[in-house]
Amino acid sequence: MVPVMPEPATLNASDREIAEILKAARTIAVVGISARAERDSHRVAAYLQGAGYRIVPVNPGLEEVLGERCYPSLTAIPPSIPVDVADVFRRVEHLPAVVEDAIARGVPVVWFQSGLCHEAAAARARAAGLTVVQDRCLKVEHMRLAAR
């Protein structure tokens, strides 16, 4: 008998898993953050900071965002800074490289923001033991699930 693989959407994290991620996380690396306040990456990071999370900005072209030192990559973040979630705002073609950095850094959760989905990168992350959330906004999910 040939096993039936679930549809990609069913491979995404459930509401229960997302709520657990949000509850357990303390530090979130925002990969691809912008210094421009009107950009989604900046607004989401500012919201998360206001909700009590520590934000670690990741963008090779910036020195500081939202009062936090910015790092050029996940792997450049010092080991003394624990990273619980990598919230990714990069273009889809960059997701495999971000996943490799998350694996190398030991980040337990990679979160691809709304509009971002890459099944091969997600499969690689899952095979390495990481939890993957795709095509969801961390801010929207926090607002939705924190209200429960």
Number of Cβ within 10 Å of residue 137's Cβ equals 18
Q: What is the pTM of this model?
A: 0.90
- Domain-embedded: residue 82: yes
- Return the SS3 of 25: coil
Name the β-bridge partners of 88. 31, 112
| CATH number, domain with residue 90 | 3.40.50.720
- Domain-embedded: residue 6: no
Mean pLDDT, consecutive 10-residue stretches, the chain (148 aa), reads 36 83 96 97 97 97 97 97 97 96 97 95 96 95 82
Residue 10: the pLDDT is 39
Quote the crossing angle between the two packed helices 119-127 and 95-105, to the nearest 10°. Answer: 10
- Domain-embedded: residue 29: yes
**CA–CA distance, 7 with 56 (Å, rounded to integer):** 33
CA atoms within 13 A on the CB side of 145: 18
Residue 118: the pLDDT is 95
- Domain-embedded: residue 3: no
Query: Could you list the residue range(s) of the whole structural domain that residue 123 is in?
Result: 11-146
- Domain-embedded: residue 2: no
Could you tell me which residues come within 8 angstroms of residue 114 by beta carbon, excluding any fewer than 6 positions away?
Answer: 135, 136, 137, 140
Give the count of domains, the chain.
1
Q: Which two tokens stand for residue 83?
A: 């990273």
**CA–CA distance, 67 with 4 (Å, rounded to integer):** 48
Residue 148: the pLDDT is 54
- Domain-embedded: residue 125: yes
Residue 146: the pLDDT is 79
- Domain-embedded: residue 70: yes
Could you tell me which residues come within 8 angstroms of residue 115 by beta carbon, excluding any fewer than 6 positions away?
Answer: 135
- Domain-embedded: residue 5: no
Residue 5: the pLDDT is 30
